[in-house]
Amino acid sequence: MKVKSYFYSSLLIISFVFLQGKLSAQNNSKTESLFGDGSVLNTNDLGFFIAPAYGITQMDGSNVSIFNLRGGVNFKDKVSIGGYFNTSINDIKPESENLPNIYMDYWSVGGFAEYTLLAKKLVHLTFPLYMGYGEVQIDNEIGDVGLGEANFFQIEPSALLEINLHKNVRFNLGAGYRIVGQMNYRNFDQSDLSGFTGYAGLKFGLFR
């Protein structure tokens, strides 16, 4: 009986030690999380940036200067997402308008996704895709002339040549094509607002 007791006691102790070791090994393994060690998306792969730019385009036969500002986060310096804002700088003189002493304002706001190819190279390519809401409105020198405004959806695929000036600063130059959704405003429609835009700008940020 004593032999059996010693056998079972020994077996129980060995089992306990084995189980304890296995539990300790499991506790010492990295816990998966969204950010940090053992994560699916490591914070060391995330960066951020802000990018002001100057654009030149045409709307209803008039040359338009545009200030573009966007900012967002990037993943492995390859895929970026964020938001943007565009506004006209100069007074737009629509060719189709017959009233004297008036001008048109334009602005748009929305989000963008961007793919950057070979970002660590001195010269590389990046492809922002803008999607947002836009508006044009007729004004005069003393204020709104009561002609309302037109709102529309717009999308603009772009391609930029980018140069690394510094590890935190980049210069880019390129163009995009603005596609305006269905709209009608006084004497023009979406075809008079759609068109190419040339861009030159800077990008400041932490690029991983």
- The answer on pLDDT for 168 being more than 90 is yes
Whole-angstrom distance, CA of residue 188 vs CA of residue 199: 25
User: Please, which pLDDT band fits residue 18 given cuts at 50, 70 and 90?
Assistant: very low
- In 3-state terms, what secondary structure has residue 94? coil
Average pLDDT over residues 85-106: 90
Instruction: Name the residue among 155, 107, 158 with its Cα closest to residue 131.
Output: 155
pLDDT on residue 131: 98
- In 3-state terms, what secondary structure has residue 192? helix
Whole-angstrom distance, CA of residue 206 vs CA of residue 168: 6
Average pLDDT over residues 98-119: 93
Q: What percent of the chain has pLDDT over 90?
A: 67
pTM of the model: 0.78
Tell me which of 16-20, 142-146, 177-181 is least confident.
Answer: 16-20
List the Cα angle 143/149/155 in 5-degree steps.
130
Residue 30 Cα distances to 21, 35, 128, 138, angstroms: 16, 12, 36, 61
pLDDT on residue 7: 44
Residue 70: partners with Cβ closer than 8 Å, 6 or more residues away: 50, 51, 53, 82, 83, 84, 85, 112, 128
Q: How far is CA 40 from the centre of its chain?
A: 21
User: Please, which pLDDT band fits residue 46 given cuts at 50, 70 and 90?
Assistant: very high
Question: What are the structural domains, with CATH classification, of the chain?
Answer: 43-206 (2.40.160.20)
Whole-angstrom distance, CA of residue 91 vs CA of residue 135: 15
- In 3-state terms, what secondary structure has residue 117? strand
User: Please, which pLDDT band fits residue 64 given cuts at 50, 70 and 90?
Assistant: very high
- The answer on pLDDT for 44 being more than 50 is yes
User: Please, which pLDDT band fits residue 195 given cuts at 50, 70 and 90?
Assistant: very high
